[in-house]
Structure formats: structure tokens, C-alpha cells
Structure 1
Amino acid sequence: MLFKGCHNDIPMGNEETIPPKENIIKVGILHSLSGTMAISETAVVEAELLAIKEINRNGGVLGKQIEAIIEDGASDWLTFRDKARKLIDKDQVVTVFGCWTSASRQAVLPVFEAKNHMLWYPVQYEGQECSRNIFYTGATPNQQIEPAVKWLLQNKGDEFFLVGSDYIFPRTANLIIKQQLDALGGKTVGENYLPLGNIGVGSIISKIQATLPHGGIIFNSLNGDSNVAFFKQIHAAGLGADKYPVMSVSIAEEEVRQMGVEYLRGHYAAWNYFQTVETPENIKFVDSFKAEYGADRVTNDPMESAYVMVYLWKQAVEKAGSEMDLEAIRVSAIGQQFNAPHGMVTMHPNHHISKTVRIGQVRDDGLFDIVYSSDTSVAPIPWNRFVPETQNYRCDWTDPHKGGKYEV
């Protein structure tokens, strides 16, 4: 594996013979390997490195080997911005795979747009964005949040308490949820936020008990270490999954493994991929990841999206015939398909991919029983239909007259 930069003791396997510079393609990897978001982002880096190792082993891209330059965003948005500039200007990478939180993505977005560069972003997010410089392989709200709310209304009740970290993704997600509940006959009984990384969840637990004395749904968009305190304290308070089911959109197998299954057993998460998806591609993905990083490790949705985006980038580069011609790569990326571990994905003209929607329930071994799966792959809708200001917006980078974002 070819790599440079910060790697935070991520096991890489045996380093291979480094080819001449003219036979190397340099890419950037930019995630939090320290701070509150490291609990989630470290495994995403591992998945990206796994894809790069596989591609290199099979001949590379355009006959060249990929060199990954890894930088630590350190859960700090200004650091993300500075590292993005460093990767583009100093390291001269041809693309960057990176970010988790919307705060980090929005911190680097002006950098990629000003320098007309390219970011591949692997995590579900709130939508309400459309950049020609970003390809998004995580879920849009209609591929995660909206179907989760609909499933809960049909199966678990109609009273929702919303809890999230205090930054753009949870606040926008909860705006969408409230609008959706109003439209579908549900009720928002409470809404609380914590600064990212804050563990002072006691007052939120008290408010949940006061507003939902006999039980109800907790919709959770906390990120990072705050989730550890939250689930441990709702467990200690006796708010079991039978009466207080928690639906999370940023908790997956890796977080369950690190936090302890005893605190999450019976609760739910909405994603597109779970390790328990039964496809030949997923069996291969899980086996490869465990062989590289340890038999006790798990895979999850952001890791799968990160793994997939490296392959989609590879295919776009090969179709363009150049790793340097970013405009040609942008055009070539549209329509790219990949038989991902969770199912076939297609890159749409709005720079997002189609995805199968799934809801899982945490079981005794820390993996998820899949309790719902969409019948077909769901097309991405970045501009949300439940938000009046944006419900008529569309995004299409194949039509130069529309300039990306436009109103129908």
C-alpha cells in the first residue's frame, strides 16, 4: 500500500515497492483520526484504504498505482479547511476522499469550489446542497430520514422527541422531520441539541421522561462521543427500546462495537447498508475487510459508501482517460454504475447516487437485523420536498444552461 501523511496507527499491511513518480496517482484522504469524530471516521479511512489496495493489486488506475496522502481533520472544521488546501496546493492530489460531518464538508466546500477541485463525500447528510465540485455517495434525506420517519409512524407511534448535535446536519434533518410529521399526522413533542462532543445529556433525558411519560419515539441525530453518554444514560434511566425506541441516523455497527451492545440492543438505525446484507458482493467486502484489519472488526454504511466511492472515481477516471482532467472526470462520473455490497448504485446528474433504503434493529451480537428494505433502489433528491423554500429546486450538472441548482 502506498501512503503518506498522518495515519494514526491504521494497519496497512506490507508496503509495496514504490513505482516511479510518473506511474503514481496521488489522492487525498481527509477525515478525523482524533477528537470526538474519530470514533466514526477512523474506520471510514480504513475502508478507503482497502479499496485503494485492491485497485492497486489489480493494476491500478490507467496503469498507475494510487498513493494515498492521509490528513487528520481532528474534528475541527478550520483544520479540515487548512488540510484541504494543503492536499490540493502542496501535495497536488488529483482528488480528495473525505469528511463526515456537514460542518467539515461546508468548511472545505469553498476551498474546492475556489480551486475548482474535486471532493468525494461518503456520509449521509441533510441535503439542501448541490456542488459541481462534490460527488456525494451517502444518503440524501429521502434515502434515509424520510423513510425512517414513515416506518416509525406505521410501526412505532406518532409522538417524536428529536435530539441531535448542534450543527447543520441535525438541525436541518430535524426541520425536515418536523415538516414531514406535520404532513403525515405525527407530532413533535420535544427538540434538544448538544454541542458536538458534549456529554451533558442528563437534562435531555429528563425532558424525554417529562414529555413522553408513557413512552414514545426518540429520533437521534447525535454524532461522535455524545452518543456514548446518551445511550448509557437512557439505559441507566430505564428507557428501554420496548417503550422508548431510538432511531439513529449516525449510529452503525462500528459505534455499537465501541460503545457496547448492552446499551443499544433493540434500538434502531436507518441506513442503506448493514453488515448483514446478504449479497455475494457484501460477503466479499466483509471478508476482505476482516482479513485486512482483524476478524473481530465490523463494517457499516459510511464505510461501504467510502469503499464504493473510490471505485466510482476509478471508473470515471478510466472513462475520461486522464486522472488530471477533472472536467472530463466530472462528466464521466455521471451514469457510472457499481455493484456495491448493498446493491447496484448509479451516479445521477445531481452528483448523488441511487441507494436501497434499509432499517435495522440492534441484536445481541451487535449487528443489525434488517426489519425493512425498500423494494427498489431509491433515486436521490438533494433538495427536500418537505421544506417549502426548496421543494421545487432541482440539481443537474449535465445541462450547462441550468448551472446545477435550478427551480422547476
Structure 2
Amino acid sequence: MKFKQSLLAGVAGLSMVASMALQAADTIKVGVLHSLSGTMAISETTLKDTVLMLVDQQNAKGGLLGKKLEAVVVDPASDWPLFAEKTRELLEKDKVDVIFGCWTSVSRKSVLPVIEELNGLMFYPVQYEGEESSKNIFYTGAAPNQQAIPAVDYLMNELGVKRWVLAGTDYVYPRTTNKILEAYLKSKGFTDEDIMINYTPFGHSDWQSIVSDIKKFGSAGKKTAVVSTINGDANVPFYKELGNQGISAEDIPVIAFSVGEEELSGIDTAPLVGHLAAWNYFESVDTDVNADFIKTWKAAMGPERVTNDPMEATYIGFNMWVKAVEKAGTTSVDKVSAALIGTETANLTGGTAKMLKNHHLTKPVLIGEIQDDGQFEVVWETDGLVPGDAWSDFLPGSKDIISDWTAPISCGNYNTVTKKCSGQNF
């Protein structure tokens, strides 16, 4: 009798395990790798919410390939090594089919070797410094030629700026971007004496002496601007100190690459009015598709929630992934990656985003002026879409390199002079 009961219990246990395995096989797992705590939570939490909303929307349409999508959320807590650990956890333990994640380049650099080792698939939705192209990452944020270079051109040509403060957080994105901008400015005839470069750590809060230095630098009788690659919550005391020292946008305009609607929400925007930001999307863009997106977002998350550029990049990446999975008929990374190239989907500014051979998108470039309600008024935009360039034309080691993940090149850093790929990916 005991043997029979034990046998029945064992069969029941096996049946439960089989049922759980079948249930897991009936879902497509979507990894969400964004900081929900620490210095970058101010920016990244919204992207987690965006992915969850998109997953819910896709499930309401019937899922994907006849299966429901299941979001698997982890918190790397603004801790760069932890991004790598959480990526390994998502791929090995949770068996996710795709990851939407990272904000800072240092977190992406931490993730990159793991996602390549385990042949994962990640969409990276934030502007970055370029100088990289991985077969396992699709870059839906702006490359430098889709944000930094046009921003400097705007300041130079429209505002007559002659002196430049390149201010950034001390990590790879600001340092590489400023290296590109410094080379670009010198190609335009500017000298070292007209370029001031400053870096501060993540979460920096004491801006008094730095802003004083900026004010002094801008008092030489030449129009001066700050090009800001300051990231995260350090932006709040930075702009506050500009106001404290009486520096207005008319005196020394700041054009930011990491300040959007989310960073402005809930803070006093009075010291920021008139300063600028360069993005590929603003909530204030007047299109039907954007109006629908904003309506859906606020209905899901609350009327006080705003939209921003990295959200649009997440939206584009998610929709492209869905299309590629449907085209490939599978979530296999290699097949979906191949299907992604050439995929097109609507952006939120009224145009179409296309995934290029270098795993970058076509994008419009917009310059927005901060308003007192925390929104941006678009004051300038490119005539058309700008194709993302993974490798800068202004750095000696990069100008001859292209990325092309299609045959026969299939390489992230192909040298057009030597006709050789100098590494597997970057």
C-alpha cells in the first residue's frame, strides 16, 4: 500500500514538473535589465515600465507565435558589475529570449561579454558614444552622428558659439563622446584655449566651484555653451547651481544629451528654462502616433507620467523584435538577428525607423528648448532621417572602419582600407 502511494505521489510529482515545463515552454520570456535603485533609477525605472506596458499590449493582441509574453524583471541597482551578473541570470536561469536593458555605456560594456558568450539578444535604447558594434546587441538609441555632432552644429551655426565647455560624468560615454567632439571642433578651427573639458563622478552634488569655473570661462567675450553628457541625478544640483550663480540660457546655454522629460518631472524647472537638449524624440511632437502612445502610457501608468526619447527607442526596438520573430517564426537569436536587419517600423515623430546592417537605426535629430512646464519646444530638426554610424568619422582609428553584419562581411569593425575585420565584434 505504501509502495503504491509512493508510486502515485511520484507520478503526480513528475506530472507537475512536466506541466510546469510545458507552461514555461508556452511563454516567450522578455528580460528587463534596468536599474530600479541607485543613481540611475531616476532614468531607468521608466524604461522598465515601458517594456511592461509593451508586453501587456502584445499579450492583448494574442501574444507572439501563439504564446504569451512573460516579462522577467531584475534590478542591477546602478552597479555596473551587477549588470553582468543579472544578464547571466536572465540567460542561464530564466532562459529569456530577449533582453531590453541598460542605460549607461559602462553597464552595457559590462553586459557585452556575457551576452556574446551566451549568445543572447539585447536591445540598447539610449544614446551612446559609438565605437562598438556587437552581433548580439541592437542599438536603438542615437549614435554620436545622430545627436552630439548635430547639437554642436546647431550651437555653432544658429547661436554663434565660439567657446565650448564639454562637461560629463566620468565614464566611457562622456569621455568617448567628448573625444569625438573635441576632434570635430578642432576640424572646424577651434583651438585648445576655446575648449574646456570637465568630468565629475556619478551622483556628484557639489557644483559650486565647477559652475564658477564655467562662468569664468564664459566671460572672455566669446559666445560660450556647455555641451552636457552629465548623467543621472547629478543633473538636478548642476542646473540648480547654474541658477544660483545667475547663469541663464541667454548667457551660457547648456545643451544636454541625457536630460529629458523624465529627469525634469517633479523638479523646479525655473533654472532650466531656455536651456536645450538634443534627442530624436520629444513628448511635445505633434503626430497622431505620438498622441496615441502618450494616451496609452498615461492610461497605464497615471496622468502625471511623461514620455521621453529612450522610451521611444524602446518602443521601436520592441516592435522591431516582434516583427522579426514573426518573420523568422522562432525566437532563435541567430534567426531573429538576421530577420531584424532591414526591418522597418513607425517611430513616434511621424516617420519610419529602419534597422541597418550595422545594428543601428535611421533617426531624425531634434533640438528642444526647456519650457517652464518641464516639456520641450522643438526649435530645430534635421530635414530627414540620419542613418546611425557605429564608428566616428572624426577619430583616426575609426574613420576607415564600418560595421556590417551581413554576408560576406559579417563583422562589427571591418577596415575598408585593409579589407580585414580587426576583431569578432568591436
Identify the TM-score tier after normalising by the shorter chain.
over 0.9
Who is 2:89 aligned against? 86
Q: Displacement of 1:341 after TM fit?
A: 0.9
Following the alignment from structure 2 to structure 1, what is the Cα–Cα distance between the partners of residues 413 and 139? 15
Who is 1:326 aligned against? 333
Following the alignment from structure 1 to structure 2, what is the Cα–Cα distance between the partners of residues 137 and 320? 20
Change (3 A) 1:363 1:401: closer
Q: What are the Cα deviations for residues 56-87 of structure 1, in whole angstroms up to 9, with x where unaligned?
A: 11111112111000011101101111100100
Q: Displacement of 1:261 after TM fit?
A: 1.5
Q: Displacement of 1:22 after TM fit?
A: 3.2
Q: How does 1:312-391 map to 2 (within 5 A)?
A: 312-323=320-331, 325-342=332-349, 343-391=351-399
Q: Does 1:26 align with 2:58?
A: no
Following the alignment from structure 2 to structure 1, what is the Cα–Cα distance between the partners of residues 199 and 412? 33
**Does the CA-based 8 Å contact 2:278-2:367 persist in structure 1?**
yes
Q: What are the Cα deviations for residues 312-341 of structure 1, in whole angstroms up to 9, with x where unaligned?
A: 111111111001x11110100001101121
Match of 1:104 among 104, 107, 111: 107
Following the alignment from structure 1 to structure 2, what is the Cα–Cα distance between the partners of residues 391 and 94? 35
Following the alignment from structure 1 to structure 2, what is the Cα–Cα distance between the partners of residues 356 and 88? 33
Match of 1:185 among 173, 183, 189: 189
3-state SS of paired residue (1:383): coil
Q: How does 1:166-181 map to 2 (within 5 A)?
A: 166-181=170-185
Following the alignment from structure 2 to structure 1, what is the Cα–Cα distance between the partners of residues 90 and 324? 21
Q: How does 1:139-288 map to 2 (within 5 A)?
A: 139-156=142-159, 157-186=161-190, 188-213=194-219, 216-288=224-296
Following the alignment from structure 1 to structure 2, what is the Cα–Cα distance between the partners of residues 338 and 350? 17
Q: Displacement of 1:402 after TM fit?
A: 4.6
Q: What are the Cα deviations for residues 64-122 of structure 1, in whole angstroms up to 9, with x where unaligned?
A: 11100001110110111110010001001011110000000000000011111111100
Who is 1:308 aligned against? 316
**Does the CA-based 8 Å contact 2:212-2:245 persist in structure 1?**
no
Who is 2:62 aligned against? 59
Q: Which of the two has higher C-alpha Rg?
A: 2
Q: What are the Cα deviations for residues 116-164 of structure 1, in whole angstroms up to 9, with x where unaligned?
A: 1111100000000010010010000000000000010012212111110
Counterpart of 1:22, as a letter, is A
Following the alignment from structure 1 to structure 2, what is the Cα–Cα distance between the partners of residues 403 and 143? 22
Counterpart of 2:112, as a letter, is L
The number of equivalent residue pairs is 389
Counterpart of 2:96, as a letter, is V
Q: Displacement of 1:401 after TM fit?
A: 3.7
Who is 1:10 aligned against? none
Who is 1:39 aligned against? 42
Who is 2:6 aligned against? none
Q: What are the Cα deviations for residues 245-288 of structure 1, in whole angstroms up to 9, with x where unaligned?
A: 00000000111113321121110000000001121110111111
Following the alignment from structure 1 to structure 2, what is the Cα–Cα distance between the partners of residues 23 and 321? 15
Q: Displacement of 1:38 after TM fit?
A: 0.4
Moved more, 253-262 or 278-287: 253-262
3-state SS of paired residue (1:298): coil
**Does the CA-based 8 Å contact 2:364-2:381 persist in structure 1?**
yes
Moved more, 44-53 or 355-364: 44-53
Change (3 A) 1:88 1:236: same
Moved more, 19-28 or 311-320: 19-28
RMSD value over aligned CA atoms? 1.3
**Does the CA-based 8 Å contact 1:153-1:186 persist in structure 2?**
no
Following the alignment from structure 2 to structure 1, what is the Cα–Cα distance between the partners of residues 346 and 393? 29
**Does the CA-based 8 Å contact 2:150-2:365 persist in structure 1?**
yes
Q: Displacement of 1:400 after TM fit?
A: 4.0
Structure 1's consecutive aligned runs of 4 or more residues displaced over 6 angstroms after TM superposition are none
Q: Structure 2: which 5+ runs fail to align?
A: 1-21, 417-426
3-state SS of paired residue (1:191): strand
Following the alignment from structure 1 to structure 2, what is the Cα–Cα distance between the partners of residues 189 and 113? 38
Who is 1:72 aligned against? 75
Q: Displacement of 1:185 after TM fit?
A: 3.0
Counterpart of 1:201, as a letter, is W
TM-score (norm 1): 0.93
Aligned-residue sequence identity (percent) comes to 43
Q: Displacement of 1:200 after TM fit?
A: 2.3
Q: Displacement of 1:52 after TM fit?
A: 1.2
Who is 1:8 aligned against? none
**Does the CA-based 8 Å contact 2:248-2:271 persist in structure 1?**
no
Who is 1:118 aligned against? 121
Moved more, 291-300 or 98-107: 291-300
Counterpart of 1:80, as a letter, is F
Following the alignment from structure 1 to structure 2, what is the Cα–Cα distance between the partners of residues 173 and 22? 43
Q: Displacement of 1:39 after TM fit?
A: 0.5
Moved more, 302-311 or 244-253: 302-311
Following the alignment from structure 2 to structure 1, what is the Cα–Cα distance between the partners of residues 289 and 310? 16
Following the alignment from structure 1 to structure 2, what is the Cα–Cα distance between the partners of residues 347 and 260? 38
Q: Structure 1: which 5+ runs fail to align?
A: 1-18
Moved more, 365-374 or 214-223: 214-223
**Does the CA-based 8 Å contact 1:256-1:264 persist in structure 2?**
no
